[in-house]
Amino acid sequence: MSTPRAASTTGKASPRDRLLDAGAHLFYRDGVSIGVEALCRAAGVSKRSMYQLFGSKDEVLAASLERRLPGYEARLVVPDPRDAAAPRERILHVFERLAQAAAEPGYRGCPYLAALVELKDPGHEASRVAQGAKERLGEWFRAQAEHGGAADPVRLARQLMPVFDGAAARSGARLDTLSDGLAAATAATLLDAAGVR
């Protein structure tokens, strides 16, 4: 959930890593329509080098989304699955972390939802990465709901996803700050109705 930072062109990072870092930062900040020249300039890499490493800017986008996924997920969920937190607490933790992320300068919403909305092409390689990220979160909600005793864990996960995505999108668009805990309270209402402990 953290805001990607611009790549440092002075460090010892490889040209590939610099492209992925710059891509993560620019795609998140400016959207997927940024040009190859802007991407290469930010990475300190020539266009020729970029095309030797990646077939297209779309490949850079897909690879940058894939690379940031473990950090994104780790920031959302309770770190250790053996942790004593009950499934209800684990689910609510996700919404609390979302509110914390939304308060950070430069927050623009969920990068995976943003990529899906901007690309509008489910066959695009970056769309497939983003769709996979959203499906993994939905599956995590389902598993927690099942463990917590929900009567219909699949339905509860489907209900929690639009709460998460809607809150992320509204806060990313600066329509809502999430500081009042509304997303977590809405999730708690759904958990209560489903009987999740």
Q: How far is Cα 37 from Cα 182, in angstroms, rounded to an integer?
A: 41
Query: Do residue 83 and residue 157 come from a single domain?
Result: yes
Closest among 31, 106, 19, 29 to 63, alpha carbons compared: 19
Query: Do residue 157 and residue 97 come from a single domain?
Result: yes
| Number of domain units in the chain | 2
pLDDT at 1 over 60: no
What is residue 129's predicted lDDT score, i.e. its pLDDT? 98
Tokens of 61: 């986008």
Query: Do residue 38 and residue 134 come from a single domain?
Result: no
In a domain, 71, yes or no: no
pLDDT at 34 over 60: yes
Percent of the chain topping pLDDT 90: 85
Per-residue confidence band for 85, with pLDDT thresholds at 50, 70 and 90:
confident
Q: How far is CA 106 from CA 89, 100, 172, in A?
A: 28, 12, 9
What is residue 9's predicted lDDT score, i.e. its pLDDT? 44
What is residue 78's predicted lDDT score, i.e. its pLDDT? 73
